[in-house]
Structure 1
Amino acid sequence: MTETIEPGAVEYPALPGRGEYTEEARRARLEWLRAATGAALGSLETSTIDPRSLTGNVENFVGGIEIPIGLAGPLLFDGQRARGLVTAPLATTEGAMVASVSRGAKAITLAGGVASRVISQRMTRAPVFEFAGLGEAAEFARWVVGRKDALDRQIAAVSTHSRLVELDPVQLGRSVHLRFVYETAEAAGQNMTTVATWRACRWIHDQLAAGSVPVPVWSAIEANLSGDKKFTRLNMIAGRGTRVVAECVLDEATVRRVLKTTPGAIDRLYRISVVAAQQAGMAGHDIDAANVIAALFVATGQDIACVHESGAGLFSVDVSGGELRATLVLPSLVTGAVGGGTGLAPQRDCLEALGCTGEGGAARFAEITCGFALALNLSTMAAITSGQFADAHERLGRGRRVNWLRPEDLGPALLRPMLAASLDAPGLDVTAVAPIEDAPRSSLITELTSRGERRKTTGVFPLRVTWVRRDGDDPKQTDLVVKVKPLDQEVAIEAAKLASLCGGRLAEVYPRWRDATGFGGVHTREPAVYRSADPALRAVLPETYGVFEDPAREAHVIVMERLGTGVILKDTVDEPEAWRPRHIAAALRGIASVHAAWLGREEEVRGWLGAARTAESMTAMRELWSAHLEHSAAEHPDLLDACAARRLEDVLDGLPDWWRRMEAMPRTLVHNDFNPRNIALRAADLSLVAYDWELATLHVPQRDLAELLAFVLSPEASEADVTAYLDLHREAVGAGIDPAAWRDGYRLALWDFALTRLQMYLMVHTHRELPFLRHVVPTALRLIEIEDAVEEAGRAG
C-alpha cells in the first residue's frame, strides 16, 4: 500500500545561487547536488563554459556535457545560398551515422552535387481569444483581418527583424485562434515573435475596449495551434520555420560504385516503404533525416526541442533512364543563425565553419541541413537494399548475463598474485595502482572491437603499481601494461561490419568466410603465447608478470612490462626511414631464433594455437580474396592501380598450385603481424621485443620476413637489399637451408601477405585511415616486382 504524503509534509528545498551566473554559484550548486544525491559528479568538477555567457540560455547552471563532433562530407552544393564543397560538423554519439552521411555525400558529389533552395521562411504564434458566444467570435474574426497593417506597425515598434506576412483567424466554437505568421530574417524567431505577438495582443485589447466589437472573456498568448515544438500536419502544409528542398541526380555507375546497390533496388524499396508509411500513419515520408538535423542542431546551438517538428520530411525517388533522382523537402525546419545557443563559443565556431554567420546565414544553414539529410536518406536506403543496415548493427548474442571486468577490477586484487609469483615474493603487497596518462596505442584488433560492446572493458591500460615485498620494506614502483582482450567473435563481427559497409561483392562474400579470416581464437592465442616457457619465445617477449583468464567473465588478461625509455623504434609504423639496416637485421635475427626453435614442430603448434590455414581452405576462400581485390582497386586506385590489381589477380589465379607448394615447405611458429606496430628494439643491445601476438599461427618462417620488409623498406628497394636480408634471415634460422628453396618460400609468403593481410588493411583503410599504407602498399608491390624479375632471370638462366 502506497503511503500518502500529507500536503506541507515536505519542505521544498532552495537551490543555491539562484539567478547568479558566476563560477562561485556554479560550484555551490554542484556541492548541493552532491549532497542531495550522493553522486560523486567528478565529470562536472570543472567546466570550460564561462557562466557569465549563459544568461538567457540556461538557469541554475552546474556544468556541461561534451558531445563528440564528427565531420561528414564534404558535399558539393549548387544552391541559392550554399555553393561549393561543404563539410558538416555533426554532434552525435550514434556510431556509423557520420560515416553513412559521408558515404551519401560522396555519392552525390561524384554525381554532380545537390541542388538546394529555400522556398519560404515563416514563424508562427497563435494567441487565442474566447468570447461569450459564436456570433461574437465570428464578428471579432472579421474585424481583426482588416487590422493587419496596424498590427504590423505595433510589431515593428518592438522588433526590427519580425515582419508580419499573414494574419489568419481560425474560429473553433467560441474561440478564435489568431495565427500570426512572420518572417524573422536570420533568427529562428520563436522568442522574438512571442514578444511581438504579445505587443499585438495588447493593442487588440485596447482597440476592443474602446470600440463596438465584442470584448473577449478570456485570452492567452498561445493555445497550441502554432504547433510549437510539436509535429503538425498544418505546419507541413503551411510551414513553420524554413521550407527547404534539396535534390540530386545519381548515375547508375556512381550508385553501384559508392552506394553498392542499384537505382532500381532503391526505387523498389522506396515504393514499398511509401505504402508501409501510410499504413503506419506517418505524415509525409522520410528515412532518417532527423539524425542529421539533431546532430547539426546540437553542434550549432539550435533549439534541440524543435527536432521533432523539424524532422518531418517528404523524401522521394524516381528512376529514369538508369538515373536515380532523389528529392527531400523539409517543410518546417526551425533554425536560425543568431539568437539562442548560436552565440555560445563552440556552437558559433561550428556555424562559422559552415559559413552561416553573416547575412543569409539562416537560409544557407537550411540548405546545408537539407542537403546532408538527403545524403543520409540515400545512404541508409542503399544500406538496407544491400543488407548492410542489419550487418552494421550486429552484436554478439549472449544467453546469460556476464559479469565483465570493470576498470576498477584492474587493481591490487588482480595484480598482487601475479607480481608476487613473477618477483618470487610471496609476501608482496600492492599498496597503490594508478593509471599512466600516455594515450596507449591499442592493436588494430582491439581498436576494431571498441566499436562493439562498450559496456565491456577491453584495451591496453598502462598502470603505475606501488608495492612492498613485506611489511616494513620501502615501497617500490613498477610501470606495467594490462592488456584486456576481446573475444574472437567480437573481433569477427566488427570486421564483418567493416566489410558490410564496403558494400558490393565484398559485403556479399565476406559473411560466408568471416570465421575463417584468421581471427578465431585471438582471445586465447595471445595468452597462450605469454604463458609459454619456451626460452627462444620468452627472449623476444616483453617481460611478463602474469596471465589471468576467467572464461565465465570473458576475461583474458595479460600483464606485461611497459616498454618505455629502454626501447627504440616503438610505434614507428609511419616512420620506415627510422629503420636502418642494423635495426632490420636485429629484428630479423630476433624473430629467426623463434622460427628456428619451432621449425618442424607443426603438430605441436597446431595443438597449442589451433588450426592454421591450408591450401584447401585458401583455395575455397578464393572468392573472398577476389572480392577484396575488386574492392581495393575500386576504392583505392591511388594505392592499387589497375596494373597492380591485374598482377595480384594473376597471383590469385595460381593460388591452388602455389599454396600447395608452400604448405609442403617446413613451417614454424610465426608472429603473423610482424611490423613496426608490434615490435621494438631494446636500446642497450638492439635485441628484439615483439608483442601483440594474437594472430600468431603456423606458417613458413618467411611470412614474418615478407611483412617486415614491406613495412620498413622503401618503394625504391633493390634486389640486392632484399637478397641481403633473405640470406641473413635464412642463416639465422639454420645453416644448410637451400637458398633457392628459401627464396621460393619467401616469394610465396609475399604473395600470401599481399592477397590476404594487405587486402584486410585496405578494407579497414576505407573506413579508418591507415597512413602507413601509403608506403607499405607500393613497397609490397615493389617486392613482388623484384621477385618476378628474379624468377624470370632464373628461367632465362
Structure 2
Amino acid sequence: MTDVIPGRGQYTEAARRQRLAWLRERSGTELESLETTGLNAQNLVGNVENFVGSVEVPVGLAGPLLFVGDAARGNVTAPLATTEGALVASASRGARALTQSGGVVTKVLAQRMTRAPAFEFPDIATAQRFTGWLHEQRGRLDEQVRLVSRHARLVDVDPYQIGRHLHVRFVFETADAAGQNMTTAATWQICRWLTDALAGEDGLRPRAMLLEGNLSGDKKVTAASLLSGRGTRVTAECRLRRDVVAAVLKTAPEAMVKSHVTTVLGAQQGGTTGYGVNAANIVAALFVATGQDVACVHESGVSIFSLEMDGDDLVATILLPNLVVGTVGGGTALPHQRDLLTTLGCAGAGGVRRFAEIVAGFALALDVSTMSAVVSGQFAEAHQRLGRARRVDFLQAGDLDAALLQPVLAQGLGDPGLHVARVKQAPQLVGDGISSELGALAERRKVTGLHPLTVTWTPGGGTPVTVDLVAKIKPRGEDIVAGIAKVLSLCGPEVHRAWSRWGPDAEFTDAHRRELSVYRRTESALTDLLPRCYGLLEDDEREAYVILMERLRDDGGPWAHNRIDAVLRAVARVHGHWLGHDQDLLADGWLHRVPEPAHLAKSRELWEALVRHAAADLPGLLDPRREGLLLGIIEEAEHWTQELYALPRTLIHNDLNPRNIAVQDGRVVAYDWELATVGLPQRDVVELLAFTLPPDATAADVDRFLTVHARAVAAVSPAAAALVAGCDWRRGYRLALREFLTTRLALYAAGHTQREFGFLPRLTRTAFRLWHLEQAQDGG
C-alpha cells in the first residue's frame, strides 16, 4: 500500500473516489459517510487540496434579531453552523431579549487589514535613514498598491525600529474582501519596488527582508490588533428593559452588572486579551456557515463586552476589534455558504459591512444570554439539556447563448445574415486541460475550459443547421503563469524565487493570444491539422478568449507505429512550410511574446531548482543518477543551446502529446496550440515519442520515426528538402531531447509533487530511455 495520497492536484470525481479508496484501505474503515458529497470537485480549485469528501455541520437558525444599525436593519435570522448544544438556543434567547427591548444598534467603525514586512540593515543609523526615506515615498507606495489591486487602499504606514531591524506595519482598506491575500500581494509589490528603487543606494538598502515579520497579528491574538484594529472593527449596543431581563433572561439588571464586575476581575488575573463571554462561538458558527477563514476565528473572537445600569435599564455593549470577514473570495463562493450569505443579504460586493454588523449583533445577544444563564444558574442546566484596478465583467458559462455566439459565428463563417436560433449547453467536459486548472488557481471568478454546445443556426438565405461544437474558453497566459507560481510556492523558497524571476518570461505568457492567432492563419499546412474553427471571440475588457471549434471524438486507438507515423506526417507539413523561416515568423508578430533564444541558458537556476526539488521529493521518479544527468545537461546549456539555435527552426506545436491529438476516421487533428512557438521541428517528435513509445523502446524505433518525419518535412517543398539534407537531423533530435528533459520534464516533475500527473512515471521512464539510446550511440 502506497504512503502517497493519490490524485494530487486533481479536481475530478474520479480522483476523489481514488483518494477515498486509498483512505479506506489505509484506515481499515468503510467511510460510508464520505461516499457521496454535494460538492463538485471541479469547483474547489483554490479551496482545498486532496478533496475526499465533505463533512456536514448542522446549521441551526438563531433569531430573529431586530437590527437598527447602519448597514443591518430589520429582523435578521442567523444560520449558525455548530455541534455545540444550547448555542443556537442561547443566541435565540438573547436575540429575543434584545428585540423586545427595541433591537440592537450596530455600526462599523473601521475596516483594516495589515501586513508587516521586516527589514534588516547593517546598523541602526541605516535603519533610521530608511524610515525617513520611506515616509517621503508615500505617494509612490500608493501607486504600487494600485498596480496589483483595484480594491486595496493603503491608509497607514507605521514603522517600528528595534536596533538594526525595522518592522513596517502596512495598513490597508480592502472593501468587501477579508483581504489577507490582497494585502499580501500589495505589500509584496511594495517590497519589490523598494528593492529595485534602492538597488544602487548602499546607504539605504536593506540587507535582508521578510514579507511578514510577525507584527501584523495575522491569525493571532495581539494587543496591537485590539488597539489598532485588524479586519473590521464593529460595535453593537442595546438597552434592555428591566421587565424583559426578568421575563426572558430570568434575572435582574443589578445581578447582571454585579456578576460582570466579578468576571472582569477574573479575566484580568488570567491575562485575557480584551474581555468577553463567548463571542467566539457566534464568530465560529457564522464563519463555518458562510465560508469565512476559520483560522481567523480566535483573533476575530476577541471582544470587549460591557454591562452597566442606566436608570432602570441595562445597557450592554460589545466591540469586535478584529473581525476578519469578507463577502467575496475564499469559501464564500461555495454553494452552501453562498446560499447562507444570500439569506443574510450579504452575498457579494457591498455585503461586508452588513455581515460584520450581523456578527456583532448576534455576539452581543449571545453574551447577554450566556451571562444571564451564569447569573441565574441556568448555564449548566442548559448544556445538560441541549476558508483588478477596474471591474471586469468576467465571462460565465451562462453567457454562452445565442446573443453572444451569433456575431462570433457570423464573422467566423463569413455570413453576416446568419441567425442563431438555439444554443443548448451540455455539462462542462472533465479534464479540460492543465492550463485551465492553473489559470483557475490564479483567477476563479471567470469560467474557462471546454464547454460542449449544440447550436442551431440559419445561414443567410439558407436552411437551418444544427452542429455540435465546443467552446474552448482560455485563461490568460498571465493567469497560467500565476497559477504555476502558486503551485511552485509550495515547493520551497528556492523554486518559488527562481520561478518569480524567470517564469513571467517563459513560454506560457500570452498563451491565450497565441492560440487564437494560430486559428486565424489561412495556410492549408496548418488549417488541415487544426480542428475546424467556427469563430473566435477576443474581448480584452471581459478577459474573454474563446475558440468555437468542432467537437472531436478520438477513435481511442492504440499508439501503434502506424498511428505515430500518421501524426508525424501530419505535423511535418507545418514544419516543412515554415522551416528556415523562423525570423519571418517572429517578425510577423502573431506568435506574440516568444522567449529569446538565450532564455533557456539564462534561466538555468530555475531548471536546476525544479530538478533538485523533484529529486528530493520524488526519489522514485528522479533518482540520484537521473538527477545528476539532468543537472549536468543544464550546466552545459550555454554551449548546446547555441548549437540548437543554429539549426533550421520552424513553427512547432510545442505540446504535441496524446492529450492534444485526436485521430478521427483516419484524420489527424492537433489542438491546444497555446504553447506554439519557434523551435526545432524535432522538438515535437521528441515529445510525441516520449509520450507514446514504451519504456523499452529500441534504437530502431527511434530511427524509423525520425526517418518518417524527416522525409515528410522534406517532401513539403524543395527548399525544405534542401534544409533537411543540409543538417544533421539526428543531432537536432538529440538537442531537442535535451531541451525537453531540462525544461518540460523538469517542470512536470516539480509540479507532480503538488498535483499528480498520472502520465508522468511512464513518460519519465520513456524519456530517459530515449536519452540512453542516444548515449549508447555516442552522439549525446
Q: What SS does structure 1 have at the residue aligned with 2:696?
A: coil
Change (3 A) 1:546 1:740: same
Match of 2:564 among 563, 579, 584: 584
C-alpha separation between the residues in 1 aligned to 2:741 and 2:614? 12
C-alpha separation between the residues in 1 aligned to 2:448 and 2:664? 27
Q: CA deviation at 1:739?
A: 9.2
1:492 aligns with 2:472: no
What whole-Å deviation, never above 9, does each CA across 1:1-49 have from its counterpart, x for those lacking one? xxxxxxxxxxxxxxxxxxxxxxxxxxxxxxxxxxxxxxxxxxxxxxxxx
Q: CA deviation at 1:476?
A: 2.3
1:476 aligns with 2:421: no
What whole-Å deviation, never above 9, does each CA across 1:687-724 have from its counterpart, x for those lacking one? 32010100000000000000011100111111111111
Structure 2 equivalent of residue 324 of structure 1? none
Structure 2 equivalent of residue 627 of structure 1? 609
Matched-pair contact (CA < 8 Å) for 2:428–2:451: no
Structure 1 equivalent of residue 678 of structure 2? 698
Matched letter for residue 775 of structure 1: R
Structure 2 equivalent of residue 150 of structure 1? none
Structure 1 equivalent of residue 417 of structure 2? 427
Matched letter for residue 548 of structure 2: V
1:535 aligns with 2:480: no
Structure 1 equivalent of residue 449 of structure 2? 459
Q: What SS does structure 1 have at the residue aligned with 2:519?
A: helix
C-alpha separation between the residues in 1 aligned to 2:294 and 2:598? 59
Change (3 A) 1:100 1:417: closer
What whole-Å deviation, never above 9, does each CA across 1:291-333 have from its counterpart, x for those lacking one? 9x9799979xxxx9999689989xxxxxxxxxxxxxxxxxxxx
Q: CA deviation at 1:608?
A: 2.4
Change (3 A) 1:308 1:760: closer
1:595 aligns with 2:600: no
C-alpha separation between the residues in 1 aligned to 2:739 and 2:648? 16
Change (3 A) 1:193 1:410: closer
Matched-pair contact (CA < 8 Å) for 1:706–1:750: yes
Matched-pair contact (CA < 8 Å) for 1:569–1:579: no
What whole-Å deviation, never above 9, does each CA across 1:484-542 have from its counterpart, x for those lacking one? 22222122111111111211310122101121121121121111100000110001000
Change (3 A) 1:777 1:284: farther
Change (3 A) 1:613 1:569: farther
Matched letter for residue 568 of structure 1: D
Structure 2 equivalent of residue 759 of structure 1? 746
Matched-pair contact (CA < 8 Å) for 2:611–2:749: no
C-alpha separation between the residues in 1 aligned to 2:539 and 2:419? 23
The count of aligned residue pairs is 476
TM-score (norm 1): 0.52
Mapping of residues 780-795 of structure 1, within 5 Å: 780-791=767-778
Structure 2 equivalent of residue 655 of structure 1? 637
Q: CA deviation at 1:555?
A: 2.4
Change (3 A) 1:74 1:589: closer
Match of 1:509 among 498, 518, 522: 498
Q: What SS does structure 2 have at the residue aligned with 1:450?
A: helix
Matched letter for residue 415 of structure 1: L
Matched-pair contact (CA < 8 Å) for 1:569–1:676: no
Q: CA deviation at 1:459?
A: 2.3
Change (3 A) 1:189 1:778: same
C-alpha separation between the residues in 2 aligned to 1:278 and 1:712? 61
Change (3 A) 1:705 1:274: closer
Change (3 A) 1:588 1:284: farther
Matched letter for residue 672 of structure 1: N
Matched-pair contact (CA < 8 Å) for 2:652–2:678: yes
Mapping of residues 379-394 of structure 1, within 5 Å: none
Change (3 A) 1:739 1:294: farther
Q: CA deviation at 1:99?
A: 4.2
Structure 1 equivalent of residue 510 of structure 2? 521
Change (3 A) 1:467 1:621: same
Mapping of residues 262-281 of structure 1, within 5 Å: 277-281=222-226
C-alpha separation between the residues in 1 aligned to 2:212 and 2:460? 74
Change (3 A) 1:552 1:719: same
Structure 2 equivalent of residue 78 of structure 1? none
Matched-pair contact (CA < 8 Å) for 1:91–1:295: no
C-alpha separation between the residues in 2 aligned to 1:492 and 1:532? 26
Structure 1 equivalent of residue 555 of structure 2? 568
Structure 1 equivalent of residue 546 of structure 2? 557
Q: What SS does structure 1 have at the residue aligned with 2:497?
A: helix
C-alpha separation between the residues in 2 aligned to 1:586 and 1:488? 31
TM-score (norm 2): 0.53
Q: What SS does structure 2 have at the residue aligned with 1:680?
A: strand
User: What percent of counterpart residues are identical?
Assistant: 39
Matched letter for residue 667 of structure 1: R
Q: What SS does structure 2 have at the residue aligned with 1:462?
A: strand
Structure 1 equivalent of residue 429 of structure 2? 439
What whole-Å deviation, never above 9, does each CA across 1:313-371 have from its counterpart, x for those lacking one? 9xxxxxxxxxxxxxxxxxxxxxxxxxxxxxxxx9xxxxxxxxxxxxxxxxxxxxxxxxx
Q: What SS does structure 2 have at the residue aligned with 1:490?
A: helix
Structure 1 equivalent of residue 232 of structure 2? none
C-alpha separation between the residues in 2 aligned to 1:96 and 1:490? 13
C-alpha separation between the residues in 2 aligned to 1:87 and 1:667? 57
C-alpha separation between the residues in 2 aligned to 1:190 and 1:69? 36
Match of 2:389 among 385, 399, 402: 399
C-alpha separation between the residues in 2 aligned to 1:453 and 1:491? 9
Q: What SS does structure 2 have at the residue aligned with 1:548?
A: strand
Matched letter for residue 452 of structure 1: A
Q: What SS does structure 1 have at the residue aligned with 2:468?
A: strand
Structure with bigger gyration radius: 1
Q: What SS does structure 1 have at the residue aligned with 2:709?
A: helix
Structure 2 equivalent of residue 729 of structure 1? 709
Matched-pair contact (CA < 8 Å) for 1:486–1:523: yes
Matched-pair contact (CA < 8 Å) for 1:481–1:562: yes
Matched letter for residue 673 of structure 1: D
C-alpha separation between the residues in 1 aligned to 2:563 and 2:396? 39
What's the Cα RMSD here?
Answer: 5.0
1:412 aligns with 2:422: no
Mapping of residues 371-382 of structure 1, within 5 Å: none
Matched letter for residue 610 of structure 1: H
Mapping of residues 144-159 of structure 1, within 5 Å: none
Matched-pair contact (CA < 8 Å) for 1:614–1:663: no
Structure 2 equivalent of residue 43 of structure 1? none
What whole-Å deviation, never above 9, does each CA across 1:603-652 have from its counterpart, x for those lacking one? 22213213433442222100111111111111221211111111111111
Q: What SS does structure 2 have at the residue aligned with 1:492?
A: helix
Matched-pair contact (CA < 8 Å) for 1:525–1:696: yes
Structure 2 equivalent of residue 329 of structure 1? none
